[in-house]
Amino acid sequence: MPVLNEVDYVEDAVRTILSQDYAGEQQLILALGPSTDGTMAVVERLVAQDPRVTFVLNPNRHIPVGLNLAVQASKHPIIVRVDAHSELAPGYTARAVETLLRTGAVNVGGLMKAKGRSPFQWAVARAYNSKFGLGGGTYHGGDAEGPAESAYLGVFRHEVLTEVGLYDESLRRGEDWELNLRIRAAGHVVWFDPELKVTYWPRENWNKLTRQFFTTGVWRGELVRRHPGKNPWRFFVPPLLVLAVVLGVVGIVLQATGVLGWPWSILAYLDYAGLLAYALLVVGVAFTIDRGKTARDALIFMLVLPTMHLSWGTGFIRGLLHGGRDTMDTSRSNRN
């Protein structure tokens, strides 16, 4: 488990791991980044309470580096990758190991079920759980067990994880997808099992959400540069939305100043129609999913969904044009 500034989440995450009903020996290795919010004190207490919990220091703070340090510190044949923002459902570990053995896969993953504690976090969770939010990836709403492109978190065979070279430490986001790409290229199977369920707690405010999704978009753009032709089409939708917004603004200015006349204006009207259709889709989704929510919750959702799409799309364009460089996810820092 990579951990950085997770004082509000790490204890619950650890509790769900240690309470797994699994007959085999277990060890929980936390890769600790330089937290500034009291996380270290919580982890030290958890280590003192249970001999199965240990940690390695990750002064580099980047997730792939911490994951590799933790994997290399493990002596067990199965690696269960977890997050401090996640909570495993009862029976997760036993089911995952059984699925590995039953299918012959080398990595299995299940469903991410996002939840929220505040109205804003609930709105983000609704977007995560909607096929309109994150593009309909299998682990956001799939129901058929079988081979998959990637896996949420992942339960791995240790020897294969080592064989393919562990996580790529030059990445800052998207390391799971890239690792699974190498696993599949090596002739192995990645497997989706909808019976494996993980609760995920999204970012708690607009600022953190924007930073998280911008950074994720940047590194997706970097991955497209590194692996052209291997990325699903859905990853290109948010940047197209960003371009449509930019063209719409330019079209309005050009029409208002008389620069853009007929027949070129028809292109601007087509762009406006597309943006209107997107806005209506956002409104429709806001008032149809989770119908027990209030109008206020729907309004927050109508802010959250475009924020996710536009932040991700803007980051993608930057990453595609300039690469990831050293863009970091500052939403994991201890500032709002």
Residue 292's pLDDT is what? Answer: 60
Between CA 156 and CA 36 the distance in angstroms is 31
The verdict on whether omega for the bond into residue 228 sits within 30 degrees of 0, i.e. cis, is no
Listed range (38-42, 95-99, 167-171, 327-331) with the worst mean pLDDT? 327-331
Token output for 27: 């060890």
Q: What is the pLDDT of residues 142-182, one digit of tens each?
A: 678 999 999 999 999 999 999 999 999 999 999 999 999 99
Residue (of 196, 181, 169) closest to 58 by Cα position: 169
Token output for 187: 């002739």
Listed range (53-67, 113-127, 251-265) with the worst mean pLDDT? 251-265
What is the share, in percent, of the chain residues with pLDDT greater than 90?
Answer: 79
Q: Using 50, 70 and 90 to split pLDDT, how confident is the model at 93?
A: very high
Q: What is the pLDDT of residues 234-273, one digit of tens each?
A: 889 999 999 999 999 999 999 888 888 888 889 899 999 9
DSSP 169-191: TT-SS-HHHHHHHHHHHTT--EE
What DSSP element (H or E) covers 198?
Answer: strand 190-200
Residue 144's pLDDT is what? Answer: 87
Between CA 110 and CA 141 the distance in angstroms is 10
Alpha helix (H) residue ranges in 50-188: 63-73, 92-103, 119-129, 138-141, 158-163, 175-185
Q: Using 50, 70 and 90 to split pLDDT, how confident is the model at 33?
A: very high
CA atoms within 13 A on the CB side of 241: 23
For residue 9, pLDDT over 60 is answered with yes
Handedness of CA 205, 336, 316, 149 (dihedral sign): negative
Residues pairing with 57 in the sheet: 32
Q: What is the pLDDT of residues 272-285, one digit of tens each?
A: 999 999 999 999 98
Cα–chain-centroid distance for residue 242?
20
Residue 175 near residue 216, CB atoms below 8 Å: no
Q: Which domains does the chain have, with CATH numbers?
A: 2-202 (3.90.550.10), 226-332 (no CATH)
Residue 287's pLDDT is what? Answer: 85
Average pLDDT estimate for 202-209: 94
Residue 195 near residue 113, CB atoms below 8 Å: no
Which residue carries 């570990």 as its tokens?
93
- The CA distances from residue 187 to 40, 79, 201, 254, 293, in Å, are 40, 19, 33, 53, 46
For residue 141, pLDDT over 80 is answered with no
Cα–chain-centroid distance for residue 221?
15
For residue 233, pLDDT over 90 is answered with no
Residue 336's pLDDT is what? Answer: 59
**Global pTM value:** 0.92
